[in-house]
Amino acid sequence: MSDPAGLIAAVVAAAAGAAGGAVVRALTLPGAAAAFCVGVMVFGLGGAGHAVALVSFFVSSSLLSAAGLRIRRRRGSPVSAAPARDAWQVAANGLIPALIALASALTNPGGTPSSREWLLLSAAALASMNADTWATEIGGLARARPRMMGSWKPVAAGESGGVTLLGVAAGLAGSLFVALMVAAWWPVGGAGLIWRPDLGEVFAVTWAGFLAMLADSILGAGVQARFRCRVCGSTTEERSHCSVAAERVSGWGPMDNNAVNLTASALGVAFAWILLRWFGGGL
Ligand SMILES: [Zn+2]
């Protein structure tokens, strides 16, 4: 747990991030309120390492999404900006890291070395989210048509469960990015400018995030509910379209896109917990 000054800094940073997201319309107002709560918990209870993991995900995926939109527009593809994220979407990404920060603060009030494992578990949850975003944004630029996980039938770009080789590689890079940022914040050895990360930990977090991203695709392909708009007839992942409730055409009702993302980040934590025991060296 942070000292009072650290807690104030956490509230200010979370408020700035949430307000910024609302101003650029990346977040709805309830979405900004949810982002503020996640930020206060992660920054204030988890501390700087957890903040590095969250900010690495948030900044790199936001920049990639913006860049991907520009490139597709320049190619003349009919694209629109992603709608502002609501509170449920923010919770799907932020709930697990926030709960891990809380657990870390409760079990290690003084920030003992064992809090390092909480940090690595949080990093794995965010690595899985980052992998998913990088895979979607970079994979979406591939000229090859994505194929549905499992059946390998070509599907429309951007559909849940669709994967491309470029997307899978980008997902691995996205997961590695979060793992390296956290390792850079908290290296285990080295002196001065010589940086020595714990390769076992980097490997465990990267691989956990990557496997969770694949699980996300499998769930997206096999279980996730798909809906059809009663007004315009288009198929969608959203429960409502054109301002009316859409009808479900396939998948399991409770398993919408947010539930898939939340499940994937929880799986990232579980995979990391297992892999750290194999590769983490003395945890
Ligand atoms: Zn519609």
Token representation of residue 269? 């934590």
Give the mean pLDDT of 160-181.
91
Q: How far is the CA of 242 from the centre of ligand 1 (A)?
A: 4
SS3 (DSSP) at 44? helix
Give the CA angle between residues 123, 217, 166 to the nearest 5°: 85
Q: How far is the CA of 241 from the centre of ligand 1 (A)?
A: 4
Q: What is the pLDDT of residues 127-169, one digit of tens each?
A: 999 999 999 888 878 777 888 877 778 887 767 777 888 999 9
User: Residue 245 corresponds to which amino acid?
Assistant: A
Give the mean pLDDT of 183-209.
76
What's the pLDDT band for 262 if we cut at 50, 70, 90?
A: very high
Q: How far is the CA of 250 from the centre of ligand 1 (A)?
A: 17
- Average model confidence (pLDDT) across the chain: 86
Q: How far is the CA of 243 from the centre of ligand 1 (A)?
A: 8
Poorest-confidence range of 14-23, 159-168, 177-186?
159-168
**Which residues keep their CB under 5 angstroms from ion ligand 1?**
229, 231-232, 241-242
pLDDT higher at 256 or 82: 256
pLDDT higher at 176 or 243: 176
Q: Note the pTM of the prediction, 2 decimals.
A: 0.86
Give the count of beta carbons closer than 10 Å to the beta carbon of residue 132: 28
User: Residue 57 corresponds to which amino acid?
Assistant: F
Q: How far is the CA of 226 from the centre of ligand 1 (A)?
A: 13
Q: For residues 91 and 163, is the Cβ–Cβ distance under 8 A?
A: no
Q: How far is the CA of 254 from the centre of ligand 1 (A)?
A: 21
- For residue 184, the enclosing domain spans 4-279
Q: Distance between CA atoms of 268 and 216, rounded to whole angstroms? A: 10
Domains in the chain: how many in total? 1
Q: What is the pLDDT of residues 41-53, one digit of tens each?
A: 999 988 888 999 9
% residues pLDDT > 70 (the chain): 90
What's the pLDDT band for 39 if we cut at 50, 70, 90?
A: very high
Q: How far is the CA of 234 from the centre of ligand 1 (A)?
A: 6
Beta strands 247-250; 147-148: pairing state = unpaired
What's the pLDDT band for 282 if we cut at 50, 70, 90?
A: very low
Highest mean pLDDT range out of 5-19, 117-131, 179-193, 226-240?
A: 117-131
Token representation of residue 166? 């470029």
Q: How far is the CA of 240 from the centre of ligand 1 (A)?
A: 8
In the chain, which residue ranges form alpha helices assigned H by DSSP?
Answer: 4-23, 29-39, 48-74, 87-107, 115-139, 165-185, 199-222, 257-279
Q: How far is the CA of 80 from the centre of ligand 1 (A)?
A: 14
Give the end-to-end CA distance of the chain in Å, rounded to a whole number.
21
Residue 14: its pLDDT value, please?
93
Give the mean pLDDT of 52-71.
89
Token representation of residue 167? 């997307």
Q: Distance between CA atoms of 223 and 84, rounded to whole angstroms? A: 25
Q: Distance between CA atoms of 162 and 74, rounded to whole angstroms? A: 23
Q: How far is the CA of 227 from the centre of ligand 1 (A)?
A: 10
Give the mean pLDDT of 80-97.
87
Give the mean pLDDT of 245-269.
90
Give the mean pLDDT of 38-43.
93
Q: What is the pLDDT of residues 93-126, one digit of tens each?
A: 999 999 999 999 888 766 554 578 899 999 999 9
